[in-house]
Structure 1
């Protein structure tokens, strides 16, 4: 069972995504901001992170920068979710889902990123 971490400050989004992804068979954890997200990653490394960009305390851009700066964490796939415009530089190689997104787009993106990460780990 793949472990996912959803980092978003909107409770309704956290609850909806947790419900949807849990039904699909994923082990889902949540965090309300980037600082909580990094703390979780340090304790319980997820297989994939769904990351909102605009949050209080530590925004998604800072969390993503810290993940990419840490050699032990940079291989974790990140899917950035945002209603705003995002540049390639801001994504730092991560996938992007524009909010609001369709359920099929979410599930297809999660599956594709997990498969890509799994293939990259094979010898």
Structure 2
């Protein structure tokens, strides 16, 4: 369906996101740090970017600034973070992130956001409302597991 670039220094998260997105028929490329992510972005020109905030070297905010400095770039960006503080989220949105999702998250939340944007069901500017809507429809974070949701760990076993 879509070419997705995952930029994250956590091998386990990269593998799980790759598994989840490939099950959903997306083509996935992974970059393990910010500098590699910028180079991959320039070569691949992905349809969607999943970007970790905290990485050594060039962090997610630096990658996002660099990506958004590219002329004519409107690729949707989902930022993932282990620290869900409001200041970091505001900084991400000010730099041009479309979505901001705190870890832990479920496979369903990630797929809902990515597929919703790519299929034009979710406006690229409505990050918080999209996550709230997803959760109201039965998509819940890993800390709030309910029947019918899949954690990223559970998806690995489906493969």
- Distance between the aligned counterparts of 1:11 and 1:4, measured in 2? 16
- Distance between the aligned counterparts of 2:10 and 2:91, measured in 1? 25
State the Cα distance separating 1:35 from its structure 2 match: 0.7
Specify every segment of 5 or more residues in structure 2 that has no aligned partner in the other structure, as ranges: 125-159
Match of 2:33 in 1: 33
Match of 2:14 in 1: 14
Match of 2:4 in 1: 4
Match of 1:88 in 2: 90
State the Cα distance separating 1:102 from its structure 2 match: 1.4
Kept in 1: contact 2:89–2:100 (CA 8 A): no
The structure that is strand-richer by fraction is 1
Specify every segment of 5 or more residues in structure 1 that has no aligned partner in the other structure, as ranges: none
- Distance between the aligned counterparts of 1:60 and 1:115, measured in 2? 25
- Distance between the aligned counterparts of 2:57 and 2:12, measured in 1? 19
State the Cα distance separating 1:49 from its structure 2 match: 0.2
1:111 and 2:110 correspond: no
- Distance between the aligned counterparts of 1:27 and 1:65, measured in 2? 24
Task: Please give the TM-score of this superposition, normalised by the length of structure 1.
Answer: 0.88
Q: How many pairs align?
A: 118
Match of 1:78 in 2: 77
What CA RMSD, in Å, does the superposition of the two structures yield over aligned residues?
1.9
Match of 1:50 in 2: 50
- Distance between the aligned counterparts of 1:18 and 1:4, measured in 2? 9
Kept in 1: contact 2:33–2:55 (CA 8 A): yes
- Distance between the aligned counterparts of 2:101 and 2:70, measured in 1? 24
Greater Rg, structure 1 or structure 2?
2
